[in-house]
Structures are given as structure tokens and as C-alpha cells.
Amino acid sequence: MKKSFARQGLVLRDKHQPWWRMVKALAVTLRAAQAAHSLSRGVPTRFASTMDKGTNFFFRQLKSLLPGTKSVIGANSGAQADVHLQDGTTLSVGSLRLLSVATPGHTNGCLTYILHEQGIAFTGDTLLIRGCGRTDFQEGSSETLYKSVHERIFTLPDHYTLYPAHDYKGQTATTVGEEKKYNPRLTKSLDEFVKIMDNLNLPYPKMIDKAIPANRVCGIY
């Protein structure tokens, strides 16, 4: 787990424990939950996992367990929330300063959250460890994602630690320098990258046509 403490503020990332258990164990007040983008992974049918059920389900579950918590998402996501962030907005979490940077391409509303003083960035699904988010559905654009990564993330100092939204191999973090050197997709030219993305032949997500509209009504209830 990566923890950053600051007086009243706390930034958490822990894939092994449910977020509500972490909040309870650390005895903190969760004032806001920020999404990197509006997810499209399914329509929730019962109280089960959180992010795999989509942004809509995550925010609703959060608000039912911790009333008063604000939902936060990018203004270009097309999703409903208590707070909509514009590119360049800085949020204060105690003494932490969390910069919201628009990094579209996976979706229109993708944001990367940067903590410059700590040398940390949360890249959502835009940049993964040795990979990136898919671009073949939900407003995806290979050209836009490539530009976002090279202009907004790869321009950060090489030593910055990057935390993606998920990783299927159990890895939790990488660095700007590593991805600039070793990412098998994003070290290519733009034309090569577009060809790679066009030929991934990934299956069309189940129920996506129902999931996207549902998950855009995500954080106000």
C-alpha cells in the first residue's frame, strides 16, 4: 500500500483490502472519492465488488456506507457527480496538493492525478505498467491516448512513481523512466502504436451498451 499522510488528509491505494475497511481501520474521515474515468465494466446487480461493477456502483456503495462523502470525476466524462474537475484543477487534501491533468484517449474524461511534492502520479487506465488502456470503445482514440501519455505523463521527471488503476500481473507501480524505456506500445512511433492498438482484437465487453449509460449516472445519489 502507498500511504501519504498530511494532517487531516490521506491518499490511499490498496488493491488487497476493500476501501471501507481501510477507512475504518485508519480511523479517517473520507471526504471525497475521485474516479480517474467513468467505468464501463458492467451493470451492478447486487452488493459485491466495487470498481469492477463500474463507477456508478462504486459511488453509490460509498455514499451508502459513508454518507456525506463527495463523488469527484472529470468534467469531460459525461458522468454525474458532486464535483466535476477541469484540466489543471488542484485539490487540497490536508497539506497535499493533487493536480488533475486531462489524459483522454481511453475515454474522453480520463484524468491523471499528480502529487508533485511526493513525485507520484495516479494514471488510471491511460497508462498501465508496460501497457495502456484499450481504445476501441467508449470514445476511445489511439491517437489521443498516445498524445496524452507523451505530452502529459512522459514529460514528468523520470523518477516519478506511477500507480495505474489496475494490473493483471500483480504489479503495483512503475516509474516514468521505466515506461519511457520499456513500454512495448508507447515506445513506438505514433503510426506503429495505432497499428498495434488496431490489431489487439480484444473481445467486445459484455453489456457495455447498458453499462455506459448506467455508470454515467454515478455519484449524486
Listed by start position, the domains of the chain span 17-85, 86-201
Q: In this model, does residue 24 exceed pLDDT 60?
A: yes
Q: What pLDDT shows up at residue 59?
A: 66
The per-residue b/e assignment along 97-134, b for 16 or more CB within 10 angstroms, e otherwise, is bbbbbbbbbbbbbbbbbbbeebebbbbbbbbbbbbbbb
Mean pLDDT over the full length of the chain: 78
**Region of poorest pLDDT, from 31-40, 132-141, 208-217:** 208-217
Q: In this model, does residue 124 exceed pLDDT 70?
A: yes
Average pLDDT of 177-206?
Answer: 93
Q: CATH number of 86-201: 3.40.710.10, 3.60.15.10, 3.30.70.1050, 3.30.420.40?
A: 3.60.15.10
Confidence of residue 26 (pLDDT cuts 50, 70, 90): confident
**Region of poorest pLDDT, from 3-7, 108-112, 205-209, 216-220:** 3-7
More confident site: 58 or 63: 63
